[in-house]
Amino acid sequence: MIVILYTSHWEEPAERLQRLIQSSFPVEGIEIYRTLSSFLHRMQNPPDLPFVVVLLAGERNELLDFRSIDHLLGGTRLILVLPDQAEETLRTAHLLRPRYLTYADSDFSDLAQVIKKMAGLQPG
């Protein structure tokens, strides 16, 4: 199983998220992308193994960027980490059809369990 993390904003929430993922999954199963173009290239050539995509939106406008590549995300086990709880942010996020939503200011305590369940590594 591969966890693909995309974040263009390398600030405290991204660092916490990366630490959580690295402490919960084997390093060889983690891919981190910091530019939309590198992430786009990866999604055009998806892994052969099962994978989960975690997108951390540093700002609301970044969700619109994600919408522009929605065709590559369809059917993907997608987790969105949102910058805020504003109604417009949530509305845009739901258009991407994520399997799970959380927020950048959360403690991510449940995220590792959610990823493991999505990957079939944990019953539930």
Per-residue pLDDT reduced to its tens digit, 16-49: 999 999 888 887 889 999 999 999 999 999 988 8
- In the predicted structure, residue 124 carries a pLDDT above the cut 60: no
How many structural domains are present in the chain? 1
Q: How far apart are the first and last CA of the chain?
A: 17
Element (H, E) at 24: helix 12-24
CB 58 within 8 A of CB 8: yes
Per-residue pLDDT reduced to its tens digit, 61-104: 999 999 999 999 988 999 999 999 999 999 999 999 999 999 99
Query: Does a structural domain hold residue 124?
Result: no
DSSP for 30-73?
A: EEEE-SHHHHHHHHHS--SS-EEEEEE-SSHHHHHHHHHTHHHH
- The residue whose two tokens read 């590792």 is 112
Query: Does a structural domain hold residue 123?
Result: no
Domain with residue 78: its CATH number is 3.40.50.2300
Find the domain containing 82 and state its range. Answer: 2-24+42-112
